[in-house]
Structure 1
Amino acid sequence: MKTVWRAVGLFWLAPLVGEFLLGNQPVTELPSILLFAPMYGGGALLIREVARRAGIGWTGIVLLAAAYGLLEEGPIDQMLFNPGYLGLDSFAGFALVPGLGVSVSLVQGTVTLHTIWSICVPIALVEGFAPESTRPWLGRLGLTVVALIFTLGSTLLGVMQAVGFHFVASPAQFAGSAVAIAVLVVLAFVLGRRAGHRRTGKPVPSPLRVGVVAFAATSLYWVESEFLPDDWLPEWVSIAWWFVLFGGTTAAIVHWSRGKGWGPRHRLALATGALLTYAWAGYSHASDMDNVSLPIALLGNTLFALAAGILVLILWRRLGTPRGVEHVR
């Protein structure tokens, strides 16, 4: 029953982080989690279960999470294709993918938000309750039920978006996103199986340092994308900066994770650093809400941030002092 409760926890935690902690939804709209959970929670749970069954570790989880991000914002809600989705009159001035009319910046944002916060952070937090185990939480029946819930929930949201925006992407756009998603899924299985066999034996930095790096890198991303003027850098320079920031951070994490002593405390540190970034970034989103008053919006974000902090403190308390070297992937 403990594994079932972990699965249930991930199912609800993913939309709470992805929508409410970020400030996209006010606390008054908490019942709407019933609409978001099948897609967010179902997707996170499917990715975790498939990755653990296939033995593709965190490399596989990250790549499957990126595929999920493209699936959600591409074929499901079509944000990547619809110029009017974010209140934009057009994609004019945006760096576009040739032939698809898709903004490279929007793709980067989609991959960043969903890979890190919608999928990986919730999985890392819930796995923190049993860091020594990488076994599946669900049997075949449970996995089938979750897959069905995810499919039905995502389909419902997709239809609602298409009807609400009166927009349907072109066949080329659907096909292009499908190819990109398929490539990421294949890479998840190929690279995920290879990653677990590469160990350097070198010592790793402390969990505190790892957490600080995660917080700094994700905060820099939010500062550049949300708080600086849109034209402070040419768009292709901003796109290149994204590759430098996350490419360098990813390379450092991959290098550290192969070293001697990398374990649950380091993974929890990564999740904690990223979660703290969402907690402060959520206040900027909350201040832009037009469906609730500013005090209510900020109060809601404070409550969600406190809840996130309590969860993290509980997990760190459970881990306690490390008893030895751990190599759980």
Structure 2
Amino acid sequence: MSVEISTGKTPATGTRQRFAGSIWTLVFLSPVIAEVLSGSTRTSILFVLIPEMMVWGVGALLCRELVRRWRAGALSLLLLGLALSIAEEFLIQQTSIAPLPFPGSHAGFGRMAGINLVYLLFMLGFESVWVVVIPVQVTELIFPGRRELPWLRLRGWIVSSVVFLFGCRIAWYGWVRQARPRLGAAPYQPPIGYLVAGLAAIAALIGLAYLLRNLGQPVAKGGAAPAWLTGVIAFVLGAAWFELIGQIFVPKPWGTPAQELLAGSAWALVALTLFTRWAGRKAFTDGHRFAACWGATLACQAMPYYTIASWPRIDITGKVFFDLAALALFAWLGTKGMRRRNSEVTAG
């Protein structure tokens, strides 16, 4: 993977920028935040982190690169995250169209016309936000001086695309050919129409992300909520979103699939409206981004503790270790941000 870039913005040193640190940080953080901290990937199967980095990590990197080259806003990043989610759910692991094989789940709950609609709705939000948006924001907070620049040259694009496609193949084989049979799932062949629809949706979302690239750019007018309140709201909205997927596993869901789809869609619309409006204002600072990312990540971390008592000891130990590591990362990142703001005030 190429980690150098030559752009019209010449660094003050007159040398080429090197972006290995930011690239590998994003490639690593994407699956760790989404899969490891959420408890989906546990310590006993941590080897799957490699293909997850190839799919989620490199996929998030490619989404971020398109946004930076288009000079687009946060809305475009979210739309590209949705495209990546559609690729996962319809083409790669096909978990939203194949019958759910998870032990203890209601496989038929919300399954209509051959699609797991409740599961799909959750994954669209989870994979676009926790796989793409949050890891990109956290990485750019770690490397603020590189935020506005692309990180890949043409060679990096080619290598990243090859790694992504190879990772998709590994993920498909590992889940469809290996994991599903071990879970007792019957063989499943997706209808060709669903695969074509998935490809069409991906193309449409990428096109929409480009067409809407000027929306969400920071404007001077309007304020933002206090940073701490932004974090609390992100935690509440995130925790509620994880309750949506939980309804597939509880003995008695709180509502019918139609009611949960309606409530989940309304909840997603509220979250989208709030954060796109706030993020589109210059008053929305790095402190707000930090608080929002931390709040949403805490929601992701907290949900597994409902069932963690039934996990093997190695998975419980690993979960606690990674949660403490995430806490240390955000504490360090918050301290770093405060020092930077103090230095800016002093310099001003």
TM bucket normalised to smaller:
0.7 to 0.9
Letter in 2 for 1:17: I
Partner of 2:121: 108
Q: Which segment is superposed worse, 255-264 or 32-41?
A: 255-264
Partner of 1:327: none
Residue 304, structure 1, aligned to residue 304, structure 2: no
Residue 31, structure 1, aligned to residue 44, structure 2: no
Output the CA distance in 1 between the equivalents of 2:105 and 2:137.
38
Residue 213, structure 1, aligned to residue 233, structure 2: yes
User: How much does 1:259 deviate?
Assistant: 3.0
CA contact (8 A) 1:21 1:301 kept: yes
Partner of 2:189: 168
Deviations 1:207-247 (A, max 9, x none): 11111110011112223542665432121111111122121
User: How much does 1:283 deviate?
Assistant: 2.7
What's the TM-score, normalizing by structure 1? 0.88
For the structure 1 residues 284 and 300, does the alpha-carbon distance in structure 2 shift closer, same or farther, using more than 3 Å as the test? farther
2:69 corresponds to which of 34, 53, 59: 53
User: How much does 1:263 deviate?
Assistant: 2.1
Output the CA distance in 1 between the equivalents of 2:65 and 2:205.
17
Q: Which stretches of structure 1, 4 residues or more, deviate above 6 A after TM superposition?
A: none
For the structure 1 residues 301 and 2, does the alpha-carbon distance in structure 2 shift closer, same or farther, using more than 3 Å as the test? farther
Partner of 1:273: 295
Partner of 2:184: none
For the structure 1 residues 194 and 64, does the alpha-carbon distance in structure 2 shift closer, same or farther, using more than 3 Å as the test? same
RMSD: 2.3
Partner of 1:318: 336
User: How do 1:2-21 and structure 2 match up within 5 A?
Assistant: 3-21=19-37
- In the alignment of these two chains, the number of paired residues is 316
For the structure 1 residues 287 and 175, does the alpha-carbon distance in structure 2 shift closer, same or farther, using more than 3 Å as the test? farther
Residue 42, structure 1, aligned to residue 64, structure 2: no
For the structure 1 residues 65 and 130, does the alpha-carbon distance in structure 2 shift closer, same or farther, using more than 3 Å as the test? same
User: How much does 1:123 deviate?
Assistant: 1.0
Partner of 1:122: 135
CA contact (8 A) 2:68 2:148 kept: yes
Letter in 1 for 2:212: L
User: How much does 1:88 deviate?
Assistant: 8.2
Partner of 2:151: 137
Query: Higher relative contact order by CA 8 Å / sep ≥ 6: 1 or 2?
Result: 1
CA contact (8 A) 2:27 2:56 kept: yes
Deviations 1:293-325 (A, max 9, x none): 2x322211111111111111111111113748x
CA contact (8 A) 1:95 1:236 kept: no
Output the CA distance in 1 between the equivalents of 2:106 and 2:201.
23
Output the CA distance in 2 between the equivalents of 1:2 and 1:22.
32
* SS of equivalent to 1:128: helix
Output the CA distance in 2 between the equivalents of 1:206 and 1:123.
22
Output the CA distance in 2 between the equivalents of 1:285 and 1:278.
14
User: How much does 1:285 deviate?
Assistant: 5.6
CA contact (8 A) 1:48 1:61 kept: yes
Q: Which segment is superposed worse, 175-184 or 57-66?
A: 175-184
Output the CA distance in 1 between the equivalents of 2:54 and 2:324.
25
Letter in 1 for 2:281: G
Partner of 1:257: 279
Output the CA distance in 2 between the equivalents of 1:54 and 1:260.
20
2:85 corresponds to which of 62, 69, 85: 69
User: How much does 1:17 deviate?
Assistant: 1.7
Residue 241, structure 1, aligned to residue 298, structure 2: no
User: How much does 1:288 deviate?
Assistant: 5.2
Q: Which segment is superposed worse, 272-281 or 161-170?
A: 161-170
User: How much does 1:93 deviate?
Assistant: 4.9
Letter in 2 for 1:7: I
What's the TM-score, normalizing by structure 2? 0.83
Q: Which runs of 5+ in 2 are unaligned?
A: 1-16, 181-186
Output the CA distance in 2 between the equivalents of 1:285 and 1:119.
26
Partner of 2:9: none
Q: Which runs of 5+ in 1 are unaligned?
A: 325-329
User: How much does 1:190 deviate?
Assistant: 1.2
Residue 194, structure 1, aligned to residue 215, structure 2: yes
User: How much does 1:83 deviate?
Assistant: 0.7
Output the CA distance in 2 between the equivalents of 1:270 and 1:286.
25
Output the CA distance in 2 between the equivalents of 1:288 and 1:143.
43
